[in-house]
Homo-oligomer: A and B are copies of this chain.
Amino acid sequence: MNKLDINARGVYLIAVTPFAEDGSLDLASTDRMVDFYLERGANGLTILGIMGEATKLTAEESRTFTRQVLKRVNGRVPVVVGASSAGFAPMKELTQSVMDMGASGVMIAPASSVRTDEQILAYFDMVNETLGPDVPWVLQDHPVSTGVKMSNSVVLSILKNSLNCVMLKHEDCPGLGKLSAIRAASERGEVKRVAILTGNGGGLFLPEELSRGADGAMTGFVYPEMMVGVCNAHAAGDTERAHDIFDAYLPLARYEQQPVAGLAVRKHILAARGAIASAAVRRPGPKLSAADIADIDRLTRRQIKRLKELGLE
């Protein structure tokens, strides 16, 4: 009843996986984090993604964490689970397991071994067969992490071939032209209109993406109120307001989007905001220096000041 469908929209938070200082799963913080995201207006959650340190979890930990999130969310918003895998048997096992627990759908990126258009299309035919007729899924288009570059026509072919692909997580960069092209194709009736949520650079192009037809954002920036505010202003037709809000958060968002180091920044601020108990990242992972923390403090102070000027805090 809470299955993901093509009408999804708004802000889906890419959740972190909270750990205690000793690196064990922190289930109490998991609950707090869910509350934190939902209180700030999240329309959905996405767990076990790259920024969720999914590959660092055992299969059992993945299930435990998913169960905890689903229990806390309790059906209030859809929960999407990352299920990309180097093999279809593990993909199927994880998918069945989380769907049985009540997940709303899974998110799948292509395996890094595929390269040509033919290989990509064949891969997603196998994905469709693996997931079966009952599991809605999100196509993740993120060349930076997969190494797989999907052209506009390939994405459209996947959408045509995949009855249960209900959403595109758009993270190609540059990606504005691709977004425009995919929307134009559905407007011409060439392909069904799926939901498109964007995560390009952690949301660093959100106002422009909404103007191109995105339905929202799926990203993990540590201030969900930014994405929520931008989407609301855009929905209200106030594009300038959307940009004002975006620009106020941009200096910190940019800092949080540094490759590798970004996750430590995110968890540091989540801990500072009380959403999780510890900023611990499992190894191998980034650590913040005193100078990094000083940068974050300065950017946070400046952000508060700017939000006040805009009447937003």
Complexed CA–CA distance, A286 and B260 (Å): 28
Complexed CA–CA distance, A289 and B298 (Å): 37
Complexed CA–CA distance, A62 and B229 (Å): 47
**Within 8 Å of chain B (Cβ to Cβ): is A173?**
yes
Q: Which listed residue, B58, B87, B174, B298, touches A57 by the CB 8 Å rule?
A: B87
Q: Which listed residue, B53, B58, B89, B111, touches A282 by the CB 8 Å rule?
A: B89
Complexed CA–CA distance, A204 and B252 (Å): 11
15 A–B pairs (Cβ distance < 8 Å), ordered by A: A56-B88, A111-B284, A115-B115, A117-B151, A118-B151, A119-B284, A126-B284, A174-B258, A174-B260, A174-B262, A205-B258, A208-B295, A243-B298, A247-B250, A254-B254
**Within 8 Å of chain B (Cβ to Cβ): is A194?**
no
Chain B residues near A255 (CB, 8 Å)?
A: 205, 208
Q: Which listed residue, B53, B153, B174, B239, touches A261 by the CB 8 Å rule?
A: B174
Residue of B nearest to A247 (CB): B251
**Within 8 Å of chain B (Cβ to Cβ): is A232?**
no
B243–A251 touching, CB < 8 Å: yes
Residues from 121 to 179 in A contacting B, C-beta threshold 8 Å: 122-123, 126, 149-151, 153-154, 173-174, 176-177
Interface size on A, residues (CB 8 A): 66
B247–A282 touching, CB < 8 Å: no
**Within 8 Å of chain B (Cβ to Cβ): is A283?**
yes
**Count of identical protomers in the assembly:** 4
**Within 8 Å of chain B (Cβ to Cβ): is A272?**
no
**Within 8 Å of chain B (Cβ to Cβ): is A7?**
no
Chain B residues near A302 (CB, 8 Å)?
A: 240, 243, 247
A117–B117 touching, CB < 8 Å: yes
Complexed CA–CA distance, A126 and B282 (Å): 11
**Within 8 Å of chain B (Cβ to Cβ): is A300?**
no
Closest CB in chain B relative to A263 CB, distance in Å? 11
A56–B87 touching, CB < 8 Å: yes
**Within 8 Å of chain B (Cβ to Cβ): is A75?**
no
Complexed CA–CA distance, A178 and B175 (Å): 30
Closest CB in chain B relative to A141 CB, distance in Å? 12
Report if A87-B282 is in contact (Cβ < 8 Å); known contacts: A93-B58, A176-B292, A177-B292: yes
Complexed CA–CA distance, A58 and B96 (Å): 13
**Within 8 Å of chain B (Cβ to Cβ): is A86?**
yes
A176–B295 touching, CB < 8 Å: yes
